[in-house]
Amino acid sequence: MSRIKEFNLPDLGEGLTEGEILAWLVKVGDDIELNQPIVEVETAKAAVEIPAKWAGRVQAIFHPEGSTVEVGVPIIAIDTDPNAGPIEESTTATPASELPTPSAASLAAVQVAPAEGMVEPGLIGGVAPGGRTAVLVGYGPRNAPAKRRPRKGDAPAPAQAATPVAPAPVAPAPVAPAPTPAVNGNGRVSGPVLAKPPVRKLAKDLGIDLATLTGSGPLGSITREDVQRAATAAPAAAEPLTVAAPAASAASFGADRERRIPVKGVRKLTAENMARSAFTAPHVTEFLTVDVTRAMKALDRLRDRREWRDVRVSPLLLVAKAVLLAVKRHPMVNSTWAGDEIVVKEYVNLGIAAATERGLIVPNIKDAGRLSLRELADAMTDLVQTAKSGKTSPADMSGGTLTITNVGVFGVDTGTPILPPGESAILAFGAVREQPWVHKGKVKPRLVTTLGLSFDHRIIDGELGSKFLRDIGDFLADPEAALLAWT
């Protein structure tokens, strides 16, 4: 069994098909341990550190940082027995049936040194198996003369005489001197550029002219490293001279004043989910403005308690508690549309929308309805800190049943949130502001917020949605009285 093992990019869950390599945590030659993190990969949902499947020494890294790799493609090779000495090819032939099937990446990494004066097989313009010439797609015709099969009824060719006939002498043709090959500005002999199809595609994607490169491969062929090196150096080399524009020149509105951002990772998944939800579930949004002065005072008293002094207490904590209590009173809100049936869930995986550097993510607190207020506070703190550090796992972002989005942290009063796929309700919590409010018959400054509830009208009708939102508002208006009345 080979001691060199290739580690493929695993499926990190939720049917993901690809991932972007953010950072390699090891390098070639490093000794690694079993389950040691070796690479950080960004999927469509989160950045994840992938551990090693074997202990050993890093033999090769197949993809650089920043590249997007499909699931199942080898990303690293590990020598699982580095103390066994140098890796040598076996001198004993192994039957083909017993040889392991090499991966595509390992085959692409193998380079065969061609004989002098020959073009490396597989390169465009080179000789391919069977005497054919490799072209851009497939192979050209064979160079050997064509042979015609004898037709039925053809007379057999007469036998040749036994006495050989000496061929007539032929005068040797004058040999023309070989033309001196032209050399371009980079010192490379001009002529057909030798490069494999994957290298040509990479150069095309990066906008690199292969004719301007000096190859470091066999017979001067262009390699991936040559193209990537040229792409890195291109911005500095191609920096145009600064020319003062005339003062009266008209402003340009072209590509030179536009910036294009690739849509991938979290942003790509969010866009797909939002578009699917917006055009699948019929959304209805209701709003409710609430005096939350008593709730804010209750939070202040909670912070003053000795056992809560080290706990992060925010208005979002009371909103989450209000939602969980309202779900118990209206369980139909916590459900999913499944085509010919509605699935009502007896557990609440409470999603908290979080804005991160990579985009919007919605991790959720599993079975949040079973947690005490202190446990809920700790879970929300861990959730937010993990999201900000970019370490939220795909498992923490799957299986949500109901979501809260806190748009108030941006100074926004409220919004019309879009449902996450598979959920039937999402609550937008707006900013808490001091506003004039009629309290006990007099206009006084009070702390006020606005709630926005979007729901799936296939499941939740206007009455149910209104009662659910009203109960959340009642709790925030007077938490103590709601707790006494509902529990």
Using CA atoms, how far apart are residues 265 and 242, in angstroms rounded to an integer? Answer: 37
Pairing relationship of beta strands 425-429 and 442-456 according to DSSP bridges = antiparallel
CB 55, CB 40: distance < 8 Å = no
> How many Cβ atoms from other residues are within 10 Å of residue 46's Cβ?
25
The three-state secondary structure class of 332 is helix
Q: Which of 40, 36, 6, 42 is nearest to 23 (CA)?
A: 40
- 285: its two tokens: 């949004």
Active-site residue among 63, 283, 439, 457?
457
Structure tokens belonging to residue 392: 């939220």
Neighbours of 360 (CB within 10 A): 15
How many other CB atoms are found less than 10 A from the CB of residue 449?
24
Closest CA to 54 of 26, 35, 29: 35
Distance CA 57, CA 78 (A): 6
Question: φ, ψ for residue 242 (rounded to 5)?
Answer: -80, 120
DSSP string, 321-359: HHHHHHHHH-GGGSEEE-SSSEEE-SS--EEE-EEETTE
Alpha helix (H) residue ranges in 250-398 = 265-278, 293-304, 315-329, 373-388
The C-alpha atoms of residue 155 and residue 33 are separated, in whole angstroms, by 76
3-state secondary structure of 335: strand
Contacts of 430 (CB under 8 A, 6+ apart): 407, 408, 412, 413, 414, 415, 449, 450, 451, 452
Q: Is 330 a catalytic residue?
A: no
Retrieve residue 120's tokens: 């490396």
Quote the Cα angle for 359-360-365, to 5°: 135
Report whether 105 contacts 99 (CB < 8 A). no
Contact 464, 279 (CB under 8 A): no
- Residue 271: half-sphere exposure toward Cβ, Cα within 13 Å: 8
Contact 461, 474 (CB under 8 A): no
> 117: which 2 tokens?
């004066």
Catalytic residues: 457
